[in-house]
Structure 1
Amino acid sequence: MISQLRLLDFVIASIIGNIIAHPLSNPHLSLKGSLGTTIVLVIMYLGGVFIMLKWPWFRKLINHRPITIVQNGEILYKGLKKARIFIDV
């Protein structure tokens, strides 16, 4: 499942997990600050996703184009090289 996430989704999930974990591991920290930070981060993330859906040029800026590895039943070795997948021929 993690390999199918976009880089942005993985980074946001990691950051939110780290923000929530700090007050749970330290009894001197309050949960209010972490929840506020998490809410702001989620709103910014959703805004970014909305912008990516509305403006294709912004999506192209954030997400790279997919790499074609197989086309018409033929293996594209140039695509394998670009994806850094090495096979013995």
Structure 2
Amino acid sequence: MATIHRELEIDCSLDTAWAQLRDFGNAASLFAGVLVDCRETAGMRTVTFDNGYVVQERLVSVDEETCRLAYSVADGGFTHHSASNP
């Protein structure tokens, strides 16, 4: 299985970044230009990409101590998918 790791620096405090990243339903705002819509209900979100592709994602965990949010694709044509920030 492949792993993709990408890191970038942003000019804001950890508290500011974490407040945005931990909001599971805020994906369309965070990834504007790639996502055009995000709707979240009870630990599931439906994201719509700019090309019209729609994926359902399940919240796996939120770790306040390490500022880590993990999620996986529940429906969207993937055999297996998981992701986390950071």
What TM-score, normalized by structure 2, do the two folds share? 0.24
Q: Which has the higher strand share?
A: 2
What TM-score, normalized by structure 1, do the two folds share? 0.24
RCO comparison, higher one (Cα < 8 Å, 6+): 2
